[in-house]
């Protein structure tokens, strides 16, 4: 089995190309657990399949390091876009990729190098209702810094679906928060029936924020593209940043530029980078 390892801001996945050959009888959940393991596998935040689609130009499936399937992956989408463009499966710079969360549009910038390109992704419209996240509570209501008691402590959360679930908490300094302790508590809280990605944000100014993430199914990662979009949406809803302006999101792995536009769509621009090509034994 040939693979390509890529990352966006250090959020790294092992990619399998199913556009020309299939992987029959493969348990992708188990494969993701094995490959993601740094001691017995390759070491990654999960695996991503690039497959044909009936509804778009390509289809992406993403499996987290624990084997669970995610509905979308902002950093993964940029990598898939670079891969299919570089390998001439796409003959235009703008095309569509199907995910379990719907079809998104991607635009590959032409001034990239072999190693790295910049890609813009229309991540679609955020889901603000509790029923859309999904989370417990009145399905048609929203959260804005709403206090929740979880495992004996109180957390003020703004919850957003970017196709996948995100809970965002504003803090004074993201570096000071023990994310490795709080992250799993929030992820597994029974408030979230499908678990949740948990992000913490501190606001630098009205066009710049810091963001760290504990990802559902993968733990702490260096970046989460869908989470950065959720962080911008949450900061806008709480009037901490300027509406409709491009916002720079600083993540441990680098920066993303995110804009929640007048049309309610969230665009995200960032790098997509090759690490290596290889063959599974």
Ligand X SMILES: N[C@@H](CCC[C@H](N)C(=O)O)C(=O)O
> Is 73 a residue of the active site?
yes
Q: Which residue in the set 70, 127, 199, 253 belongs to the binding site for ligand X (CB under 6 A)?
A: 70
Q: What is the b/e burial string over 229-260, where b = at least 16 CB atoms within 10 angstroms of the residue's CB?
A: bbbbbbbbbbebbeeeeebbbbbbbbbbbbbb
Complete DSSP assignment for 117-185: EEEEEE--PPB-BTTTTT-SS-TT-B-SSEEEEETTEEEEEEEEESSSEEEEEE-S-GGGS-HHHHHHH
With a CB cutoff of 8 Å and minimum separation 6, the contacts of 226 are 72, 73, 74, 123, 162, 163, 164, 166, 197
Residue 25 is assigned to a ligand binding site: no
Residue 12 is assigned to a ligand binding site: no
- Residues 159, 224, 229, 276: which is the catalytic one? 224
Residue 68 is given by DSSP the state P
Residue pair 186/170 in contact (Cβ under 8 Å)? The answer is no
> Considering the rule CB under 6 A, would residue 11 count as an interface residue with ligand X?
yes
> Is 224 a residue of the active site?
yes
Residue 189 is assigned to a ligand binding site: no
Residue pair 245/266 in contact (Cβ under 8 Å)? The answer is no
Total number of residues that touch ligand X (CB under 6 A) = 18
Residue 216 is assigned to a ligand binding site: yes
Integer Cα distance of 55 and 63 in angstroms: 21
**Residues 12-51 as x/- pattern, contact with ligand X by CB under 6 A:** ----------------------------------------
Distances (CA, A) of 91 to 52, 57, 86, 107, 109: 15, 11, 10, 12, 13
Please, what is the minimum distance in Å from the beta carbon of residue 56 to ligand X? 18
> Considering the rule CB under 6 A, would residue 215 count as an interface residue with ligand X?
yes
Which residue blocks in the chain are alpha helix, DSSP H? 28-36, 74-86, 179-187, 225-237
Please, what is the minimum distance in Å from the beta carbon of residue 126 to ligand X? 13
> Considering the rule CB under 6 A, would residue 120 count as an interface residue with ligand X?
no
Q: Which residue in the set 36, 99, 218, 236 belongs to the binding site for ligand X (CB under 6 A)?
A: 218
Of 232 and 281, nearer to ligand X (C-beta) is 232
Integer Cα distance of 78 and 17 in angstroms: 15
Q: Which residue in the set 197, 201, 241, 258 belongs to the binding site for ligand X (CB under 6 A)?
A: 197
Residue 215 is assigned to a ligand binding site: yes
Q: Which stretch binds ligand X (CB under 6 A): 171-179, 216-224, 242-250, 257-265?
A: 216-224
Q: Which residue in the set 224, 233, 251, 256 belongs to the binding site for ligand X (CB under 6 A)?
A: 224
- Select the residue whose beta carbon is closest to ligand X and give its number: 70
Which chain residues interact with ligand X by CB under 6 A? Answer: 11, 62, 64, 70, 73-75, 164, 197, 215-218, 221, 224-227
As annotated, the active-site residues are 73, 224
| Positions at the binding site for substrate | 11, 64, 74-75, 164, 197, 215-216, 225-226
């Amino acid at each position: 089995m040939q693979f390509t390892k890529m990352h966006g801001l250090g959020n790294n996945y092992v990619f399998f190309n199913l556009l020309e050959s299939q992987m029959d009888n493969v348990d992708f959940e188990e494969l993701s657990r094995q490959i993601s393991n740094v001691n017995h596998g390759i070491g990654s935040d999960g695996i991503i399949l690039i497959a044909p689609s009936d509804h778009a130009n390509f289809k992406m499936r993403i499996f987290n390091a624990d084997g669970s399937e995610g509905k979308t992956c902002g950093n993964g989408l940029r990598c898939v876009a670079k891969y299919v463009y570089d390998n001439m499966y796409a003959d235009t710079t703008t095309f569509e990729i199907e995910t379990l969360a719907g079809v998104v549009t991607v635009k590959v910038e032409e001034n990239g190098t072999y190693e790295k390109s910049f890609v813009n992704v229309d991540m679609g419209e955020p889901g603000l209702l509790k029923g859309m996240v999904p989370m417990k509570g009145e399905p048609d209501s929203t959260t804005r810094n709403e206090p929740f008691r979880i495992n004996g402590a109180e957390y003020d959360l703004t919850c957003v679906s970017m196709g996948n679930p995100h809970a965002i908490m504003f803090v004074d300094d993201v570096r000071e928060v023990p994310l490795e302790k709080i992250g799993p508590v929030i992820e597994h809280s029974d408030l979230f029936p499908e678990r949740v990605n948990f992000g913490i944000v501190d606001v630098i100014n009205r066009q710049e924020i810091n963001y760290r993430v504990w990802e559902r199914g993968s733990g702490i990662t260096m970046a989460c593209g869908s989470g950065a979009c959720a962080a911008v949406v949450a900061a806008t809803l709480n009037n901490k940043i300027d509406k409709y302006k491009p916002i720079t999101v600083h993540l441990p792995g680098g920066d993303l530029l995110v804009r929640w536009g007048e049309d309610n769509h969230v665009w995200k621009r960032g790098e997509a980078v090759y690490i290596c090509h290889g063959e599974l034994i």
